[in-house]
Amino acid sequence: MSIDMEAVILDHLGKLAPGKSASSEEVARAADNENWRRLTGHVRSTARGLARQGKIVVLRHGKPADPEAFKGVYRLRLPTTEEQAAGPALIAPAED
């Protein structure tokens, strides 16, 4: 079974209220509720690509994180209006 993780991430985040975020576990469960654990790496790598394109924002400690350098627990959300206008350049590295 092949999962279009980009579509799953964007669909799941699109169902959330504006400004709300989702964990990688929530996204993986949306893709496959029974075998979600094996999908968490796929969620992370796909989220990195989407964040590079400015389609989503990766959050660490509630703040935008550099999609190239984030580690540990993270959340995902759609960009705010300001972030969309500025594009991916607005996202600054999170301070860990």
Using CA atoms, how far apart are residues 59 and 64, in angstroms rounded to an integer?
A: 5
Cα four-point dihedral sign 91, 93, 95, 96: positive
Span 44-61, pLDDT tens digits: 999 999 999 999 999 999
In the numeric block, which tokens belong to residue 1?
Answer: 């079974």
Span 7-42, pLDDT tens digits: 999 999 999 999 999 999 999 999 999 999 999 999
pTM: 0.86
**Is residue 64 scored above 90 in pLDDT?**
yes
64-71 contact pairs (CB < 8 A, 24+) = 64/90, 64/91, 64/92, 64/94, 65/91, 65/93, 65/94, 66/91, 66/92, 66/93, 66/94, 67/91, 69/93, 70/94, 71/96
